Structure 1
Amino acid sequence: MSEAGIPPPPPLLQLTPKKESNSEPRRVHLRYQVGCDWASSIEELKTACQRHGVCLYAEPSIWCYTNFESILQVGPTCGLVALSMLLQKAMTPDNILNMAKDLGYTNNGEMFSVKSMFSLIEYVLKKVNIDNLSVEHCKQKIFDERVVQSLIDGSVMLVPYDADRNHSPCMKRGHSAHWAIVTGILIAEVFEGKKQKYDFRNVYVTARHGKSANLAIWKLQDLENSNRNLDEMSEIRVNDELEYIVPNGGLNGEDGLSGQFILVHKMNKNDIT
Structure 2
Amino acid sequence: MAAHLRRPQLTVDMEAVVQTAVRRGYTAQGEMFSAHNMALLAGELCACKAELLSGGLSGGNAAAIIKHLWSGQPVLIPYDEDFNHEPCQRDGHRAHWAVASGVLLGLDRGSVNDEHAQPSPTLPWLYVTSGNHLPCPVDSATEVYILTKQGKSLRYQLWSLDSVAQSNGQLRVMDPVRASDGVRYVVPEGGVEVGLAGQAVLLHTRTEEQEPK
TM-score of the aligned structures, taking structure 2 as reference length: 0.76
Q: Secondary structure of the equivalent of 1:161?
A: strand
Partner of 1:138: 53
- Count of matched residue positions in the alignment of Structure 1 and Structure 2: 178
Give the match for residue 21 of structure 2: 100
The aligned residue for residue 175 of structure 1 is: 93
TM-superposed CA distance for 1:149, in Å, is 1.6
Distance 1:163 1:198 in 2: 26
Counterpart amino acid of 2:49?
Answer: S
Shift of residue 95, structure 1, vs aligned partner: 1.3
Question: Hey, what's the Cα distance between the residues in 2 that align with 1:111 and 1:85?
Answer: 20
Q: Within 1, Cα distance between the matches of 2:174 and 2:27? A: 15
Q: Looking at secondary structure, tell me which structure has more helix per residue.
A: 2
- Aligned partner letter, 1:209: Q
- Same amino acid, percent of matched pairs: 32
- Matched to 1:119, the amino acid is L
Q: Quick one: which of 201, 207, 213 aligns to 1:268?
A: 207
> 8 Å contact 2:2–2:74 — kept in the other structure?
no
Q: Structure 2 residue aligned with 1:239, among 171, 180, 192? A: 180
Offset of 1:92 from its aligned partner? 1.1
Change (3 A) 1:83 1:151: closer
Q: Which runs of 5+ in 1 are unaligned?
A: 1-81
- Which piece of structure 1 moves more, 147-156 or 158-167? 147-156
How far 1:122 moved relative to its partner?
A: 2.0
TM-score of the two chains, using structure 1 as the length reference: 0.60
Residue 161 of structure 2 corresponds to residue 220 of structure 1: yes
Q: Give the corresponding residue for 1:258.
A: 197
Change over 3 Å in CA distance of 1:83–1:246 after alignment to 2: farther
Of 109, 115, 129, the residue aligned with 2:36 is 115
Tell me the C-alpha RMSD between the 2 structures: 2.2
The answer to whether the 8 A contact 1:189-1:198 is kept is: yes
- Could you say if the C-alpha distance between residues 232 and 183 of structure 1 is closer, same or farther in structure 2, counting changes exceeding 3 Å? same
Q: Which protein is bigger by CA-based radius of gyration? A: 1
**Alpha-carbon distance, 1:258 to partner:** 0.5
Q: Which residue in 2 is equivalent to 1:73?
A: none
Alpha-carbon separation, structure 2, partners of 1:183 and 1:153: 10
- Contact 1:158/1:263 (8 A) holds in 2: yes
